Structure 1
Amino acid sequence: MAAASTAVAVSGVIATAGGDDQRDFHLPTVMLIRESFPHIDFVGLPTATGPLYHLVVAALSGPFGFGAAATQAVGAIFAVALAVLAVAFAQAAPTWTGRALAVAPLLLSAYFWQSALWMLTDDAAMLFAFAALAVSLRFDGARAQLAVGVLIAAAIATRQNSVWLLLPACAAYAVAGGGPRRPDIAALTRICAPGLGTLAGLTVLWGGIAPPAGRAMNAMHRSPTSLSFVAAVAAVFLVPVVLAVSPLTEVRSWAREASVVGVVAALPAVVFASAATLAPDDARRGGLVWSAVGSLPDVAGRSPVLIVLAFVGGFAATVLVRTVPARAGVVLATALPALAAVLVFGAQLYQKYAELPVAVLTVLLLVPLFAAGRVRRRWPLICLAALQAALTAGLVGLPILQSL
């Protein structure tokens, strides 16, 4: 991965939306921080995200006077760290094939690779998100809670929409030990205060939820179909997991409850406009889900494809919530609606905004399922890995080759 990132940086290839964002926003932000240090104007930075990624890359590249290519290569450090963390977490799976299939949904994602090859904040935010949720699932106690809080704060300082992490982190604490427990204000403070304080500080500093450079675009409109979109993306990842671990009798036993959740997930796509948009309107465009939505006609601006996918995603998520251990189940049950709630307040529903968090959740679910011997069939997970690899080849690999 590091070699691929360095090769792309040295070649000067700018491809995909990731390359465009590096050129227009993230590389200029890092260079501006380096040039203005120590008098950094955090309000005037040309980015819509938090400054932590840019500060770290500037701190690592600035003292050596790195040029654009070397600075770009330094930016891949977060992707490398995320890959190392995912592989380390997967060591609990008993076989190498299980470990490979568990991490494939994330490490074969086109959006993971875009952020690895070009300077984007996505992998950095997912590094902190993965670490926070992994600690939430595996550990308890004051130190673990504080570590989770600090990791969430780092994620928010990287991408402020990472505030969605607070709900699943608190939910994991609430069912630690396998069952509900009474709220502990001190514990919830350790989990929530660092992140909420970071978000409040950035909001006061910027005079809004985003820096002025990114505020106008995100204030254009809201995304009320976000719940359906997140559920549709989740369907791509969670249906293979259900097929891999759940016997048909188990699926049937939860079918009524899962169907109700599926209807709720699909409802926004029925009530609000859910058809794919066309350039230059990026509100609902790009990526696997919106490409599938755009491939078939809509009905009065509503997409039957999104409605069906959202129902399936809600159904599959509910089956898994009832199948996996309580702590993992409550994390999944709260993470998806929390992510959707945050995405309502953005102007675009880009595939990567939902895919990377859902991919992280998928890894966190699959590893303990492999460890417990719950994976009955591997072919659904092989199909998911193949889909991710094919999409990455088409969305990232092919544009790079065409640019050479």
Structure 2
Amino acid sequence: MKIINVVGARPNFMKMAPIIAAMARHPHHIRPLLLHTGQHSDEQMSGRFFAQLGMPHPSFNLEVGNGTQTEQFARIMLAFEKVCRRECPELVLVAGDVTSTLACALAARQVGITVGHVEAGLRSFDVSMPEELNRRCTDHLSDFLFTTEASAGENLLREGITAEKIHFVGNTMIDTLLRQRQQAAGLSLIHEWGLAPGEYGLLTLHRPANVDSPEALEALLVVLEKVACRLPLLFPVHPRTMKAISRLGLSGRFSSSTRLSGIRPIAPQGYHEFLHLMMHARLVLTDSGGIQEETTLLGIPCLTLRDNTERPVTCTVGTNVLVGSRGESLQEEAEAILAGRCSPKGIPEKWDGRAAERIVDVLLARLYPR
């Protein structure tokens, strides 16, 4: 059974790496191929992850490059359709909610190929988010829907998707974290920067709603500055965010002579490096979905700079707290964490490092019935 596994942006790599490894343990039944759309072509955001996660070199690289989401979507569909017609895979497996996810799912279905969606059923119920549109459409194109939490399956059933398509398997990002945690822990980055465990916060920003608007970005910077007065914030700057900061004329806000000197911008990090920083942080401030999940597994307090989350289990079971897209309750929640007033949390069901195995078991049972 030939399966094309699609990656395109940083989160996809962590979700797909353990699946490819699990497929490789069944060489008589599965021939896994890896396709990189090139949605993220920056070496820091793409190339290093293949090496660090032990992923094979991609069998195909569409090299779609930069552009608007619509431009990337069109280029991916055109190029991937040709791959599908030439290779004739039995299954295309996509993950998450990026442009590559929907574009490859739609191209595959249009030529009659079965589609599986890893991390299906997550909903923020905010259709202004491109990711929400991507994941909803991908789910309704897919034949196999692999979910990370119980609420995702409930969402799919409400939308009319039949129960036999839905498989609650756990979280493959957690599979990757558990496999890579020891290697990340052995790094010495924080000491090189003169920091100690628990003496800094970690900040990430990349969502359009937060970084594309001057008003929204400045509002966040004001409240982040107040937190940075109490705790230095390391800020690996996403290429998209760096472009927005430069375009909006806000680069000077990060110079050492300004009152935001507690925010320390650093280059984008590889997977091991970022995991190392996250493991030793006192708290994490983010607008990323995946980081909400990773901090939950690590037991690190997470303050999410959004009004909603498509991963509610990170709030109900995990360490995540929504503080608003303008950081309305950010300072209050950060002060509570620094004062030690955050209650211990648990680990969501099936976040045990075996999600990829369950996905492969489902595929083998369905496609090779006894």
Higher strand share: 2
TM-score by length of 2: 0.29
Higher helix share: 1
Structure with more relative contact order (C-alpha pairs < 8 Å, separation 6 or more): 1
